[in-house]
Structure formats: structure tokens, C-alpha cells
């Protein structure tokens, strides 16, 4: 029977919190980009598909598309790693911790998750990598005497 002690719940909670901050940051940036699209007439998605001749606009379009692709990869890796961390299998917990660490290190230079999301995910990965399940002797607990006269 699995109990709370059989899973690294702190690592799981930290990785979910970090992934949630990464998600909030991605939404904020998407909203910011939508605002910029309305503020600058040269920044329009339809012009990119029509093959606009403005070189600066094409470079920004590529940067935005790369950012969206990286954000999607980071969010998928973050939540996938967090789901693996929420396991009682030590090898799966280690794999999930490595996935979360990779996602956090990719996201940290760009400050996705406002920096705090990456720091929470790094802490979760470290806790997950050092987590060990309880031994069976610890699970049994102390032996209780069957009668009050036993010592």
C-alpha cells in the first residue's frame, strides 16, 4: 500500500509550482505579443504568410515562432517530468527529475517563469534526484509487545 512517504511529494509539488509559473509567464508573453501586434502595424501575422519584404519583420517573426516552439517544449517537458516524479519507482523519479532539470535549465536564461519557476524546478529536480524510498524495516515500525508483561 502506497503512503505519502512512498512518493517524493515535495519534489512533485515544487515541480508543478515551477511548471505553473512557466505557464503563467508564457501566457503573459503571448498577451504582450498580441498587444504589440495591435500597436505596430508592421507586426502582423498575415504579412509573414504573404512573404513580406521587410527583413527586420521576418527576423522578428522567426524569433517569435522559435520562442513559441521552445515554450511548448519546455511546458511539455515540465509537466511530463512532474508526472514522472509523482511515482514510487526510484528510476522513474530520477528520470522525471532529470527531465525537469533540463526544462528548467533551458528556460532559465530566458526568465520564463519569471526566474522563480526555473529555481523551483531546479530545487524539485535536486530533491527528486536525492530521494530514496523508505526501507521495509522502516515501514514495519517498532515492534509492539503483545502483552503488558513482555519486555
What pLDDT, on a 0 to 100 scale, did the predictor assign at position 6?
A: 83
137 domain-assigned: no
What pLDDT, on a 0 to 100 scale, did the predictor assign at position 110?
A: 74
What pLDDT, on a 0 to 100 scale, did the predictor assign at position 12?
A: 96
118 domain-assigned: yes
54 domain-assigned: yes
Report how far residue 52's alpha carbon sits from residue 150's, in angstroms, rounded to the nearest whole number: 89
What pLDDT, on a 0 to 100 scale, did the predictor assign at position 113?
A: 73
23 domain-assigned: yes
Helix extents (H) in 40-115: 45-50, 55-85, 90-107
Candidates 90, 88, 123, 87; CA nearest to 105 is: 123
119 domain-assigned: yes
Domain count, the chain: 1
Report how far residue 64's alpha carbon sits from residue 107's, in angstroms, rounded to the nearest whole number: 15
151 domain-assigned: no
78 domain-assigned: yes
What pLDDT, on a 0 to 100 scale, did the predictor assign at position 93?
A: 96
Task: Please give the average pLDDT of every successive group of 10 residues along the chain, which has 151 residues.
Answer: 73 96 87 66 52 57 78 93 94 96 88 84 96 69 66 58
108 domain-assigned: yes
Note down the domain range covering 88: 4-132
pTM for this predicted structure: 0.74
Amino acid at each position: 500500500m502506497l503512503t505519502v512517504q512512498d512518493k517524493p511529494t515535495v519534489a512533485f509539488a515544487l515541480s508543478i509550482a515551477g511548471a505553473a509559473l512557466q505557464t503563467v509567464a508564457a501566457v503573459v508573453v503571448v498577451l504582450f505579443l498580441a498587444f504589440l501586434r495591435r500597436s505596430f502595424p508592421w507586426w502582423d501575422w498575415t504579412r509573414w504568410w504573404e512573404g513580406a519584404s521587410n527583413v527586420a519583420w521576418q527576423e522578428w517573426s522567426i524569433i517569435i515562432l522559435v520562442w513559441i516552439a521552445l515554450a511548448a517544449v519546455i511546458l511539455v517537458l515540465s509537466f511530463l517530468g512532474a508526472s514522472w516524479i509523482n511515482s514510487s519507482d526510484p528510476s522513474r523519479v530520477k528520470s522525471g527529475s532529470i527531465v525537469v532539470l533540463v526544462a528548467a535549465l533551458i528556460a532559465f536564461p530566458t526568465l520564463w517563469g519569471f526566474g522563480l519557476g526555473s529555481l523551483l524546478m531546479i530545487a524539485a529536480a535536486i530533491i527528486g534526484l536525492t530521494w530514496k524510498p523508505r526501507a521495509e524495516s522502516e515501514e514495519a515500525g517498532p515492534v509492539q509487545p503483545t502483552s503488558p508483561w513482555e519486555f
